[in-house]
Each structure stands twice: as C-alpha cells, then as structure tokens.
Structure 1
Amino acid sequence: MRKTITIIDTFGFLFRSYYALPPLKSKDGFPTGLLTGFMNFIANIGKDFQTDYLVFALDSKGDTFRNELFDQYKANRQEVPEDLLRQLPIAIEWVEKMGFKTASKVGFEADDIIASIAFDAKQKDLEVRIVSHDKDLYQLIDDDTIYLFDPIKKSIINEDKCIEKFGVTPKQFTDYQALIGDSADNIPGVKGIGAKTAEALIKEFGTLDNIYNNLENIEKARWKTLLETGKEMAFISKQLVTLKVDCHAIEEIEHFELPKENPILKIADTLIEFDLNRIIDRVNKEGLNYKTQIPKKVESFQFETILLNEKNRLFEVISSIKEDSFVAFDTETTDIDANNAKIVGFSFAYDDKKAYYVPISHFYLGVLEQISLEDAKEALKLLNNFKLIAQNFKYDYQIIKNNFDLEMNIYADTMLMSWLIDPSSKIGLDFVAQKYFNHTMIAFKDIVKKGENFSSVEIEKAALYASEDAIITYKLYFKLLELFKEEKLEHLLELGKSLEFEFTKVLANMEANGVKIDIKILEELKVKNASYIQSLTKEIYTQAQCEFNINSPKQLGEILFDKLSLKASKKTKSGYSTNEMVLQSLYEEHNIVPLLLNYREAYKLQSTYIEPLLQLALQTNDNRIYTSFLQTGTATGRLSSKNPNLQNIPVKSEAGAQIRSAFIPKEGYSLVGIDYSQIELRLLAHFSNDEALVEAFNNNLDIHRQTAVKIFGEEQADSKRAIAKSINFGLLYGMGSRKLADTLKIDPKEAKGYIQAYFEAFKSVKDYLKSIEDFILQNCYVETLLKRRRVFDFDSANGMQKAAFLREGVNTKFQGSAADLIKLSMLKIWEKYKNNNDIKMLLQIHDELIFEVKNERIDEITNDLVNIMENIVKLNIPLKVSKNVGKSWQELK
C-alpha cells in the first residue's frame, strides 16, 4: 500500500488555530490559544489522519523572488495581532524540540516548499496530504496523490471540492488566480475581472495563454477591453501565484518519520510552564494515536471476511443464525441517492468474529459468480426475522424497498443511537470507529475509482470493505449500549426504540412520495425574476455611478463605504462587512440599500429555489421532486431537508409565495395542511404552569392579544398585538431588550420596559426561563418534552459562547419539544395510513404537515388528522391545530 507524507502549512495552520480558539491565557496572563490548538493537533495525529512521514514547512526571513518580480507583492499585509506574534516562535521552537522535521529555504515561501516536497513525493510514489485550507495550494491538488486536509473542519479538500468552490480544476487554478488576483497578497490580476468572469473564461478557453490567443472570439466587449488593458499584469500575476516545485527535495525520507519518542511528553516540563497540563494528562491516560507505519487493525478488531457468492452456502449460513440474534446489516449500491441507486450487494454480521458479503450486481470483465436477485430477496426475507441493526437505516430501507419491493424491519439504528447520546457530535461510521475503537476504516475513495461506482469494484475487495461496515456496526451497537448504561441514559435508548428508529420509515415513505410541481408557474417566475434582477442591477449601478460585482462583498463594501461614504462597521482583514444586518442598519441612509436587499432576495430565490426546483421537476415524467429529510440534521431535533431544501423558502416575499404556489397535488387530490397553532407558546404554558398563560390557552383566547392586554391595557390591545407577538416569540429565542428594540425599531429603554411589563403580567415565566438556564449551567445539557438531550461544552467556551449556549438551550427546550410532538404525530399517522392510497404525507415544514388527500375523502381524513395531532400527548393546556385545504401549497397559508 502506498505510504503517506503529511506536509504542514505551518504558519497557515497556526494562524487559523489562533483564530479558531477562544483567547486562552495561562495563570500569569500569557496567551495560549494558538499553543493549545497546536498541541491538540499533535495529540490527534493518527486520529484525525494516519501518516508515515511528516514535515512542517516554514517561510524564510526576508524577501523572495516574488518581491523582485513585483515590488508591491504583499505590500498591504495587515499587522498581526500581538498575542499571535508572542506565541508563534514558541510553537515553531516546540516543533523541533518534539522531534519533528522542518523545511525552509531562503528566497522561497512555505507554499513553494510545500509544492516542491509534494512534487518530489509524487515522483517517489507517496500519497501527499497537505494540512492547510489555503486556496493558494489548490493548484497542487491531484486526486490520485495530492490533496489538502482542513485540520479545523477535519475534511479533505480534493478536486471535486475545488471545482465546487471555484468552478475550475486544480490544473486551471493558477490561470484563474492570474485573472482575479489575490487581495491578501496584493496580486493585481486583471482589473475588473471577478470570480464569475474568470470562471467563465477558463471554462471556455482552458488556459490564460489560450484566452489571450482568442481575444477576438470573446463576445463581451467589456471583457475583451479589460483583458487587453490588463494583459501585462495577468502574466505577472500568473508568475506570482505559480508555486515553485524545485526548491526542496526529500532525499532521505526516513528522516521524516514520526518521532520514536512521545513528542508531547518530551516537552512536558515546558507545557506545564504554560499551564497546558490537560494535554499532558490526556496523553498519559490515553497515549497517542499515531504509529510510524500505517496502523494495523488493533487485535480486538481482527475479524474474518467471508464471501457468500454461492446460493447453497448463503442459505446455509443464514439458517445457522440462532433465533433472536442481533444481526448488523448494510447495503452496497451504485449511488448515494436512494431513488436512483441499484443494489450491488449486502453485508451482515451476527457476532464480532466474522462478517459476510453477498455480491449481487458487480459488473466487470471476469467477475466471479454472484447471487441472483431472486435468491437475494429470499435471503433478505430470512434476515428480516432477526433483530436487524444498521447505521443510517433509512438508506438501507429505501434500497431494499426500491430494489426488491420488500420492507425491512429495524431493531436499532447506531447512527441515531450516537445522535441521541449527543446530537451535536459527529455520527458518521468512520468517525465513531476511530473514536470508540481506534480503528481507521477502508476509505471509499481507495477502492472505487473516480468516475466509477461500487459495481466495478472487484468482489474480493468489495467483500473486505462491506464486511467491515457490518462488523463495526455490530460492535458499535454494543459499545453504545454500554454508554447508555454508564451515563444513565437508558431512557434515551427507549426513546429510540419507541420513536426514532421506526420514524426513519416515515421519512423514507415521504421521500418516496415526492411532491408535484407546476412547471409552467416556475418557468414564468424564472423569466419574471430574471428580468427583475436585471432591472435592480441597472438601478444599483445608477445609484453607485459605476458597474461592479454586486455579489462580491469586497467590491460592495468599497462602493458603500469608500465611494458613497456610508458609515461602516469595523473593517476586518477580509474587508467591510456587508451582511444583511449591516444593510438593514443603513436602510434609510441611501437609496442603494433597499435595492441591494431586494437584489439579494431575488438572486437567492433564482439561484437557490426557482432554477433548481424547475430543473429537478423536469427530470421526472410526472414533474415530482424528491427531497431528503435529515433526522439528525439539527441539534434541537427538528427535521431538516436537502436536495432540495424546502424548509427555507421565504415566507413573507411575493416571490416566495409564487414558488409555493407551484407545489400542487396530483389529479383528483388536494393538498391539506395541518399546522400546530402557537405550539412553542403552549409548551411554555405547559412547562411554566403560569396561571395567566394556562388560563388564556384553556379558554381558547388570542394569546397575543391577551399579552397586549396585560402589557398595554384593553384599549391599546388591538393596536399593540404585533408588539406582543414579537415579545411572546422573542423570549423563547433568548431575545433581550436590544434585539427587541431592533426588531420593533424602538428605543432599547422602551423595549426593556415592555419585557419588564411582560414578566410582571406572566409572573411564573421569568422564573421558569431562569430555571432552564440554571439547569443547563449545572448539568451542561437541556432536555425536551420526551427527555431528548442537547449537550453543551462549557469547559472550552468563552463568555460569548456560554451566553449563546444558554440562549440555544432555552430555545431547544421549546423548539425541541415541538419537534417531539410533531414526530409522534407523524409516526402515528403513518402507522394508520401507510397502506392507504387516499392519503400521502408529503412534507414537514417545522410545525406543519402537508398531505395529498383524495378529494372524496378530504373531510373524513382531515378531521381524523386533526384528532390525532391534537391528542398525541396530554399537556396542561390543549393542543390546537389549524387545517387548510387547497390546490397549492400557497393556498394553505
């Protein structure tokens, strides 16, 4: 197997580490945030990634060849914070004291050192991991051998990520940078050429040379003029951004092996001086994760992979499984999209010694014997009699249902079990295998070639990969059982069994149903909105008295705050902030600001909703689109959706309403919307037992008007209802007087008075909200109605983060409990109507469920849905829902 060298972009990593962590200090006041992040990184070598060799690339002092080429290179670099400068040389000193190797050369930057080592390592047939997220290094990416690794996000940046982010390949990246320049390094590029233009030019012509060889073929006159004017700087910029690959070699590779002695304990005395005792304690207790060679599977994880590609042997093994056994199960397919995926094989394990792989549809020259679809279905039926355990069962359930028209049972989902223990933690199988078993799983990319799918993998390799999934899922189930017991969380496991595991089938069913789109409406809206964007663009240019890239925060900031002299918030290293909050604060200051806000909304609608939804609808014969619901997508427990995300379509805008009007029922059916009414306020009444709130809900009074009566009196109640509504909901989201003042556009003092009056009227509420915060501070978690937990890490939080944790905790109490209620309702409705074609559950949007119901049965079914949802649990106050019927989603509002 190919060995790996890891190259650290040292200054880049340390700078990012400094900004990623809170401003920690030692007892004597010396800053230690950067040092803490650095030592955590060292401690995690072998956990976050495996490597055989490692080197820290450093900048050399003084100018480089780039300064000779362009004397303004890096001339605008901002001063580095003093706290960072104090820690930087200490971290560099520690590198060598710990026994790691560094690399640098006078006249060259660390990026050149990285590029040269990567180039040399590639010639030596090494895999190269570059620890950095610096875009200047994207040009080095070669998916087969060289990739970046972001140490903060713990994610790999490969060719796909490069294309996704910039629209060009790594090989095109220097040409792309030559056009757009780099403000951070003061590389000019071609003045007036932005990212989108550069992307378009590179896509059309491929290289910088080819662009200039085809100037006469460039249709846009402005682009042609800009390129002609900026030609000299384009080619100078290309030289500036192109990294050298001949300034450093790794002739004696063994020198770059990881230190034989424990590097952290080697500088333990120094770490104690900086009060970094925790890292020493951790290493003494747990040791380090890395080894000098590619890690072997730990002894406890040795297992036998058995290929079952002969019918008689397959059924012989299944028949030997004892009744009532736990069986871990996993599928291998051609696609991550369950709607399009074809099954290739499946694996299973019923002890921690052996795992089995059943190949079904591998396809390559010389493929071994496989199990037929008919026999595979019979085998699956037999496995369905055992206690099936899966990691992300929803996917496997969909695959088996779509490929075999067979519904698999679920006993436990290890992904959901991990999420129930801590909904904020990573729950992927690769991560938990490393976390709990110190085991690095076989990477998908290592066995599936780029552009191919699992069906092309040799069966013997596939068996190893697939059986590993099954055996780890099996072991993980029992490991998580131990954790539930150790942490006294058995009630959460019971919640998994009673709700969360089976609920995966509800979501799978909804995803399979999809929702119909009226493509004519979207096509008309696309044209209309594009025209609106164009007119807004012209008006914005008129107000700005020049043309610029409106989607560039940097260029927009320069227009607003340099050219138009509007009052700016603090300027950061990346330029002025132009986010929505900033623009809203400038709303009355200049005519350009409302235009910009309208432009952003229209642009987002076009690019995020109108065009993608239309494209998806046109891909299916019946114009239905199919979203994916994520059960573990939020820490509060609310569902989220993706591909496409249907939960964030703007509610208040006219265009948002038009988009929802394109969601329609099929012929002979109507859409029915059932929405929990003021659910979070009802939960506040239930939990707090506030007399006034409980009375209002028990008497079916308008809670917002009642609040207005309590605060402003009967005479002003109607006129002040909107203010009361903002207060009611704001308190559940941790809104203070300043935020309320901004929302209502009133004086903070007046807002403070409103909140005080609210708490005087609803006396128990303030104490109850305070009790939630006290509980969180004491226990570091909050519980929902069904006792689901959201965990908070206060140990490593600064003051602002702690305050945010408390706000999120209060919000989770109510939003998470509302999520509990709607999931309970969805499960009960699905269990009752899952085989009934007169009703299909289509969407869940926070507190609302949307169904497609046959016209002849609307009254009967709708009344039953209302009854189920209003009586799903017994609270101190009644649950109420609103019901609406229409021929589009918008008509349900």
Structure 2
Amino acid sequence: MKKTITVIDTFGFLFRSYFALPPLRSKDGFPTGLLTGFINFIANIGKDFQTDYIVFALDAKGDTFRNELYDGYKGQRPDVPEDLLKQLPIAISWIEQMGFKTAIRTGFEADDIVASIAHDAKLKGLEVRIVSHDKDLYQLIEDENDIYLFDPTKKVIINEAKCLEKYGVKASQFTDYQSLLGDSADNIPGVKGIGAKTAEALIQQFGTLENIYANLENIEKKRWKTLLEDSREMAFISKKLVTLSKDCHLIDDLNTFLLPVENPILKISDILHQYDMAKVLDRVNKNGMSFKTEIPVEKEKNEEIKYVLLNDESKLSFVINTIPRDAIVAFDTETTDIDTQKAQIVGFSFAYEENIAYYVPISHFYLGAPVQISKDAARQAIIQLNRHKLVLQNFKYDYEIIKNNFDIELKLYADTMILSWLLDTNEKVGLDYQVDKYFSHKMIAFKDVVKKGENFSNVDISSACDYAAEDALMTLKLFNKQLEVFKEKNEEELLKLAFEMEFDFIYVLANMENNGIKVDVNLLKELKETNNKYIQELTAQIYKISGVEFNINSPKQLGVVLFETLGLATSKKTKTGYSTDEAVLSGLINDHEVISWLLKYREAYKLQSTYIEPLLELGLKNSDNRIHTSFLHTGTATGRLSSKNPNLQNIPVRAGSGSKIREAFIPKEGYKLVGIDYSQIELRLLAHYSGDVALVEAFRNDLDIHYQTAVKIFGEELAKEKRSIAKSINFGLLYGMGSKKLGDTLGIPSKEAKFYIDSYFEAFKSVKDYLKSIEDFAHINGYIKTLLNRKRLFDFDSANAMIKAAYLREAVNTLFQGSAADLIKLSMIKIYEKYKNNNNMRMLLQIHDELIFEVKEEFVEEITSDLKEIMENVYKLNIPLKVSVSIGNSWQELK
C-alpha cells in the first residue's frame, strides 16, 4: 500500500481560515480567529484524513521570478486586514514549534513549493494530498489518486473528475485554460474579452494554448479570433505566470516529514493559554490524531540565550516570514573592511525576540567553509527585514554597506549609538561599553575572533555566528533599555529630538561621505616635491647651526642636542627625557637661532606627513580622484561634527604652504565649489539669548558687530584700528576666555586685557549677567541645553576647583557652539531633502559653520540663491540669521 504525504498550502489555508471564522479575540483584545482555525485543523488530522508524512509550504516574502516576467503581477491586490497580518507570523511560528516541517524558498511562491514536492513525491512512489482550495493548484492533479487536492473547509477531495465537472477542462489543460481566462486576483491579464465559457470551448476544441494559436484561421467566430490576435503576447506571458515550478524544492530526506508521534498541540499548550485558547486543548485527541497524549506541565521560563546560524535558504525564509509585522528588529552587518567604500559584506545578523538572534553567512572564505546563503537570497531577506522597524548601532556604516553591496537603502527606526550620545555626550558610545554599563555583560571582542592580518571572511562560521548574533541581540536589548532610561529621566523631549532630527541627519552624512570631494593630484604631486626639497634645506640648515647631525623628529635626540650639546636652559628633566613640544620651543625663540628653523621644519614636516602625502595617496585610489572622509556624528560633546580618515575639518588655513593644500580641493569639470558660511552665528545667538539691546540693534541693522564693539570700548576715533581686538573679545568671551588668555592672544599685559573686558561688559550690560546665568544654571542643574534641547552633562559634585572652572567655561561654549551646530544641522537636513535626487548639486563638506557644495556651472546662481534662502530661514531667532556666499574653482578661492 502506498504511503501518503500531505502538503499544506499554508497561506492559502490560513487566509481562508481567517475569513471562515468569526472575529474571535483573547481577553486582552488580540485577534485569534485565524489561530483557532489553524489549531482546529491540526487537531483534526487523523479524523479528516490519514497521512504518513506532512509538510507546510510557505510563501517567501518579496518578489518572485513572476515579477520579472510581468511587472503588474499581483499589482492590484487589496490591502490585507490588519487582524489577519497580526496572526499570520504567530501561526507560522507555531508550525515548527509543534514539530512540523516547513518548506520555503526565496523567489518562489508556496504554490511552486507544493508543485515541486508533489512532483518529487510522486516520483518516489507516494500518494500526494494537497490541502488547499486554490484553483491555481488544479494543474497538479493526476488521476488514480496519485495527486489530488483536499478542501479542509468542505472536507472533500478534488480530483480529475471534480476539475472536469467544475471547469470543463482536464487538470493537464488547466494552465492553458488560465492563460486565456487570466486571474484578476493575481492581476494575470490573460486574453482580454475572453470569459470562462469561451476559454472552456477553445480548450475543448484545440487542447492547448499553442494549438489554439496554430489554428487561428480555423476559429469560426471572428470576435474570438480578433481577441486572441490582440492578446497573443499576453496570453503566452500569462501561461508562464500560471505555470508552477516543479524543480524548486526536492525531498532530500523523507523522514524529516514524518507525522509527529507525540501530540503537537501539547508542545504549545502554554502559548495557547496566553491567547485564551485553552478550550482547544480539551478537544485534543478526541476522535483526532492518534498521538501519545501528555498532560501539560508548567514549563520553567527558559532564559538561555540562543544564537542561531541560518546558512540554509529555506530556514532563513522561514524565520524572516515568522517575524511579526510590527516587530522591532535589530540589524548588523559583518564585512571585510572598516572603510565602507571598499568593504564587502560577509554576513548579517538580526534579532527581534528577547533571547534569540540569528546570523546569516554570505561570503566566509576559508578551507572547508560550508555552503552559505546566496547573494540573491540575502538581498531578498534584507528587503523583507527593511519593512520592519530597524534598530542599529552606528546605522551610517551599515546603511553604506548595504547600499554599496545590494543597492538597497536601509530605513532606520532608531540608532542606539545616537541615543547613547544624546543621553550623555561625554560618555563612550560604543556597543561594548554601553552593554557593559547597563547589563554588566562583556561582549566578544573583535580581536578575539579575527586574527591579525585577516578579516571577518576568514572567521569560522560558528564563531562568526556567536560574535555577530550577539551584536544584534545586545543592540536590541540596549535599545529597549534606553527607552526605559529616557522615560525614567523624563527626557521624552530629547528622545523626540532623536526621532525628528538626529536620525534623519545620518542620511545627510552618509550622502556627503558617498559624494566625496575631488582633489587635484597633479598639484599635490608638485607640493610633495617642492615641500620635500624645503624640508631637506631646513634639515641642512639645522645641522649646520647646531653643529651636529641627529634625528630631528626624535624628541629624545632633539632634547639632548638643545639642552646638553647647545646648553640651553630647560625645566627639570623627566624619566622620558626633555620636553621639546611647541610651547617649549616657542619659549626659547630668542635664546638660539636654531629654534626658528626647528619650528619651520616642524610645520613643513607636519604639512608633508599629515596632509600632502595622505591626501595624494587617497586621491590616487579612485579614478575620479575623490576623497571620502568619515563624518563623526557623535565625535564632540558640543554637537559639532568632526571627521576622520582624513580629517578635513582642520585643513590649514594660514597663508603660504598651508593655503596650497586648500587649492588642491577642486570641483569636478563643469561644476563650481560654493561655500556658504553662517555669519557670526555664535554672536547672533548671544544677542538672541541675552537680549542685550546694543547687540540686538547692531544685528537687526546689519552693522559690523566687531566695529560696533570697538566703538563701544575704544570710541569712534580708535574703533577702526582696534577692530581686531574687539573681534578677539567678542569671540573669546563665548569660549570663557579670561584676562590672562586674552592678554596672551593679543600680546598685551593681563591688566590691560582685563580693562578691555570690563569696558566690554560696561558697553553690553546684559551680556555679563547672561553669561553668569549660564554658569549658575549649569552648576545647579548639572547640565546645559542647546537651542534644540540637546543636553551636555557636567559632574560638578566630583570635580576639583580647576575642573569646575573648566566645566563653567565649557557650559558657556556648549550653549553657543552647540546651538550653532543645531542650526546648521537643520539646514543640512532641509537641503538634503530638497536636493537629494538633483544631479546639479552635491553637498560635500561641513566645516563648523560653513557648508561646501559642488554646483553645476549653469545653475550656480539659481541654486546658491535657494541655499542661502534655506539657511537664513531655517529657524526664527530674535535677530536675523545671515550667511556669506563665495564661489570658486578651489576651496582656497572660497575664503
């Protein structure tokens, strides 16, 4: 006697189950109609039919090969009810929890899986029962009970005779029949104008679609002939769309599909109680499946963390399909390099449950590495994950990796690194530190997984799974913890800022990093050569004056030459030798002529090693000679951006050799560089906050604030020549500059500097009180807030007098510098949103209060005017915001 395999068209069955039952709900209001229908079906296996093997075929999320054949495939399906969507992933997760086997494959539908298993099972001598009412599966029916359908609602068998009775065609002709008729549910076009009776008549007369078109001249009805001629192409496309694949899933081991021995429902008894479905348990084994019955035992909650390797595409698809629609999913990538421009993806991890995380290997490469997930299957999985609320640690990196490797733009829900920074800008934001802080958990270190000289692709997959899955799981746990912390600290406003601005800003930075900025490699080559000659000349001069040759770059050797060979006076020698830093050398400038040459050497050497050579090397890496820096969103406590690899925020601005560096930054051909700089933004913020009448009036009347300050302090006659001193005072006070520092800056005695500061406060009476109020607020409350309510914390309680003084200066600095950072951040987001798909303009750099763009020459005037408008109106202060605009063929020309 033949053994039987039962193949469940899972989604089809569950959809019908949902609509067949009343809208049942648990006590807490969660919908349970679909779940109840599903469990009733499981309970009736053995009563409704007997089987030896059973498998649940699942649809993979995402597009299939049919979408490539026809763009409109399933394009007009109505929205699925929300209650159904909530229950689907739960029902699917129960399948494997009960011990049943699932079958799924990316790029194919459940119908294809059913067809493939049915075809393979028949070849293996099995009787095939397909649990479905779906007419699309009629094409699989084969007589003599080889393959047939079973309608679980009506509890009837659908065989060849039933097919012929209902549709007037044989099962073997069903694809031809559907090719003519089409299918409105799946948006399969068919032959426009041909209905069921016409299709039936044509198939009965000619047998197949091909034969119909081969005999068009023999079709008597002129209208049928015309309709067929007009839709010839769509008819054959429709046949491809309705024909099921029979080679996408083979039965490797039939024993994995064996009907469970123990009652499967008992395995989820505790879950059924949660959904108030305990009554189902009462019916278990009553005239149903002949399972061994066990009395449910209250299970202890399992807190064990599980890291699951998904290196099988079917298992990956199953897990992806069981994620609840509204789940928050933590996501992380593993790659070959920290540089996103050249990094290749090795795998990715994700987590959405409390103590389980998954790792998907893609391209581990070492001797004996097992089969991994294909790039196409990984891409489809990421597309599906991207439909959930994604939480990442340092989203910008993973965003660029996924975009560069898969051309998919990840959508961010939350970034735990940004949230860590917002909670405390002074603290480390790395995942390892934050997880240890909140959970006292030491994470697996990268250095313990990746050997020196290798990258993640060389890591054993099992070790990689533990490392990567831990990252995803702990990111999810950290996010949930952070939400609690924001609530506990009453920082909902700060959390709102994250979701409304800071997360959006990440896309802006990623875009700028991807844009890069072009450098003139020929100019850099020239600079390298001329500066190298200059260094050699300086070296010879230093050797000549000092009377000895030594390694000028060695502080230890230089110390011996200066303080022993030449006998210059020095402070006490330490264990590491003499100090020869810039401050020491500057203090000796009048003691020996070699000092001035040493300072010139250091400047030239720094220019060569820090700027010219690295920039040239980076510029030559790409055919377009563009340099791509990394912007650090969380790099400063004030909120200002910083950058690295290379740091483009401290390119020298001084005249001479330093300015040549900026000359090397150029636009691409046909474009101009445009620099737009907020004018005196921090002083405008001082006027806005303090409300000082003199300051406010000066800015409202668009007067030269430094000249006006000079007039107030020195009088009209001396104002012009004293403007630079007034400028130093204006900016110095915002950075907490005292009389000594101002005296050193201006090269005047502290007493004179104090007089200038006192005169300033006399002229701008409200300013002194306001600056004092900032310090008082910070001291009392332990924090300061910027314009958009970002916070910087200060621990005055554990600080000594010197540190407290520093904190007070930083509090003042943070308010103005941080608020300026807020404003330019707002501008950047608005500009990015407006121009992100415009090839006539690229945002390249943010240098503190200045933005640098690359604009197509013919649109420079129009776009620059618009950018100016955006930046000046991005936020309403008590005084107007102003920007200065400069246009040039190099960065240096913008100054």
Partner of 1:684: 686
C-alpha distance in structure 2 between counterparts of 1:329 and 1:300, whole Å: 24
1:646 aligned partner: 648
The Cα offsets for residues 709-731 of structure 1, whole Å up to 9 and x where unpaired, read as 00000111110011111111111
- The whole-number CA distance in structure 1 between the counterparts of 2:517 and 2:713 is 44
Find 1:318's aligned residue among 317, 320, 327. Answer: 320
Q: 1:825 aligns with which of 801, 824, 827?
A: 827
Which is further off, 447-456 or 762-771? Answer: 447-456
Query: Which runs of no fewer than 5 residues in structure 1 stay unpaired?
Result: 1-298
Aligned to 1:795: 797
Is 1:437 the equivalent of 2:439? yes
Q: Does the 8 Å contact 1:638/1:816 carry over to 2?
A: yes
Residue 638 (structure 2) aligns with: 636
Q: CA offsets per residue over residues 624-655 of structure 1, 9 Å max, x none? A: 11111111111111111111111111211311
How many Å separate the matches in 1 of 2:365 and 2:800?
Answer: 55
2:652–2:661: 8 Å Cα contact kept in structure 1?
A: no
Tell me, yes or no, if structure 1 residue 556 matches structure 2 residue 558.
yes
Which amino acid is 2:781 matched to?
A: N
1:681–1:729 CA contact under 8 A, matched in 2: yes
Aligned to 1:756: 758
Secondary structure, counterpart of 1:684 in structure 2 = helix
Percent identity of paired positions between Structure 1 and Structure 2:
68
Shift of 1:571: 4.7
Q: Secondary structure at the match of 1:716?
A: helix
Q: Decide whether aligned partners of structure 1 residues 794 and 347 sit closer, same or farther in structure 2, where only a CA change above 3 A counts.
A: same
- 2:775 maps to 1:773: yes
Deviates more, 1:801-810 or 1:514-523: 801-810
**2:785 pairs with 766, 783, 786, which one?**
783
Q: Which residue of 2 aligns with 1:815?
A: 817
Alignment partner of 1:448 out of 410, 432, 450: 450
Q: Residue deviations 1:171-225, cap 9 Å, x none?
A: xxxxxxxxxxxxxxxxxxxxxxxxxxxxxxxxxxxxxxxxxxxxxxxxxxxxxxx
Whichever of the two has the greater Rg, that structure is 2
Cα shift at 1:792: 2.1
1:563 offset after TM fit, Å?
4.8
Three-state SS of the structure 1 residue aligned to 2:346 is strand
| Pairing partner for 1:702 from 704, 718, 729 | 704
Identify the residue that residue 726 of structure 1 maps to in structure 2: 728
| Alignment map for 1:878-889 (pairs within 5 Å) | 878-889=880-891
Which of these residues, 466, 469, 480, is aligned with residue 468 of structure 2? 466
In the aligned structure 1, how far is the partner of 2:847 from the partner of 2:796?
32
* Partner Cα distance (1:832, 1:426) in 2: 34
Q: Which residue of 2 aligns with 1:675?
A: 677
| Structure-2 change in CA distance of 1:514 and 1:355 (3 Å) | same
The Cα shift of 1:451 comes to 2.3
Contact preservation (8 Å) 1:401, 1:407 = yes
Give, as a single letter, the amino acid of the residue that structure 1 aligns with 2:352.
Y
C-alpha displacement at 1:589, in angstroms?
A: 4.0
Q: Deviations over 1:112-133 (max 9, x none)?
A: xxxxxxxxxxxxxxxxxxxxxx
Among 653, 658, 661, the alignment partner of 1:659 is 661
Residues 1:726 and 1:584: Cα distance change in structure 2 (over 3 Å): farther
**Corresponding residue for 2:841?**
839
Q: What residue in structure 2 maps to residue 359 of structure 1?
A: 361
SS of the equivalent of 1:364 reads: coil
Q: Which residue of 2 aligns with 1:91?
A: none
Q: Deviations over 1:60-107 (max 9, x none)?
A: xxxxxxxxxxxxxxxxxxxxxxxxxxxxxxxxxxxxxxxxxxxxxxxx
Task: Give 1:192-207 correspondences, 5 Å limit.
Answer: none
Looking at structure 2, the residues matched to 662 and 734 of structure 1 have their Cα atoms a distance apart, in angstroms, of 36
Q: Tell me, in whole angstroms, the C-alpha distance in 1 between the residues paired with 2:567 and 2:766.
A: 49
**Quick one: structure 1 residues 350 and 682, their matched pair in 2 at CA, closer, same or farther if it must change by over 3 Å?**
same
Aligned equivalent of 1:714, options 689, 713, 716: 716
In structure 2, the partner of 1:410 is 412
CA distance in 1, matches of 2:368, 2:549: 61
**Which of 864, 873, 886 is 2:866 aligned to?**
864
Task: Tell me the distance in 2 between the aligned counterparts of 1:793 and 1:302.
Answer: 38
**How far off its partner does 1:600 sit?**
1.4
Contact 2:517 2:665 in 1 (8 A): yes
How far apart, in 2, do the equivalents of 1:581 and 1:703 lie? 33
Q: Which runs of 5+ in 2 are unaligned?
A: 1-300
- 1:390 and 1:412 in contact (8 A); partners too: yes
The question of whether the paired residues in 1 share the 8 Å contact of 2:775 and 2:812 is answered with yes
Residue 595 of structure 2 corresponds to which residue in structure 1? 593
Number of residue pairs the alignment of both structures matches: 595
The DSSP-based 3-state class of the residue aligned with 1:347 is strand
CA drift of 1:456 comes to 2.2
Give the SS at the match of 1:327: strand
528, 541, 554: which is aligned to 1:526?
A: 528
Map 1:237-248; keep pairs closer than 5 Å: none
- The within-5 A match list for 1:224-623 is 302-569=304-571, 571-623=573-625
Whether the 8 Å contact between 2:713 and 2:759 is mirrored in structure 1 is yes
Partners of 1:388 and 1:418 in 2: CA distance? 17
Which digits, 9 at most, give the CA deviation of each residue in 1:651-692, with x for residues without a partner? 113111101100111111111111111111111111111111
The answer (yes or no) to whether the contact 1:885–1:892 under 8 Å persists in 2 is: yes
Please report how far the alpha carbon of residue 849 of structure 1 lies from its aligned counterpart in structure 2 after TM superposition: 0.8
| Larger deviation, residues 586-595 vs 633-642 | 586-595
546-555 or 357-366: bigger deviation: 546-555
Measured at CA, do residues 300 and 624 of structure 1 come closer, stay the same or move farther in structure 2, by a change above 3 Å?
farther
Query: Which amino acid in 1 is paired with 2:639?
Result: G
Instruction: State the Cα deviation string for residues 154-175 of structure 1 (Å, max 9, x = none).
Output: xxxxxxxxxxxxxxxxxxxxxx
Supply the distance in 2 between the matched residues of 1:521 and 1:301 (Cα, whole angstroms). Answer: 62
Alpha carbons of 1:799 and 1:301: their partners in 2 closer, same or farther (altered >3 Å)?
farther
Residue type matched to 1:465 in 2?
Answer: Y
CA shift for structure 1 position 562: 4.5
How big is each residue's C-alpha offset from its partner over 1:230-284, in whole Å with a ceiling of 9 and x where there is no partner?
xxxxxxxxxxxxxxxxxxxxxxxxxxxxxxxxxxxxxxxxxxxxxxxxxxxxxxx
Note if contact 1:347-1:467 (Cα within 8 Å) is conserved in structure 2: yes
Please state how far the C-alpha of 1:741 moved relative to its aligned partner. Answer: 1.0
Equivalent residues of 1:569, 1:582 under 8 A apart: no
TM-align CA RMSD: 1.7
Distance 2:304 2:376 in 1: 33
Question: What code does the residue aligned with 1:423 have?
Answer: T
Counterpart CA distance in 2 for 1:365 and 1:560 is 58
Q: What displacement does 1:561 show?
A: 4.2
What is the distance in 2 between the residues matched to 1:580 and 1:880?
A: 37
Shift of 1:353: 2.2
Q: Is the 8 A contact 1:680 1:815 kept in 2?
A: yes
Matched residue type, 2:637: A
| Structure 2 residue identity aligned to 1:810 | V
- Change in CA separation of 1:564 and 1:684 when aligned onto 2, cut-off 3 Å: farther
Superposed CA deviations along residues 812-837 of structure 1, whole A, max 9, x for unmatched, are: 11111111111111111111111111
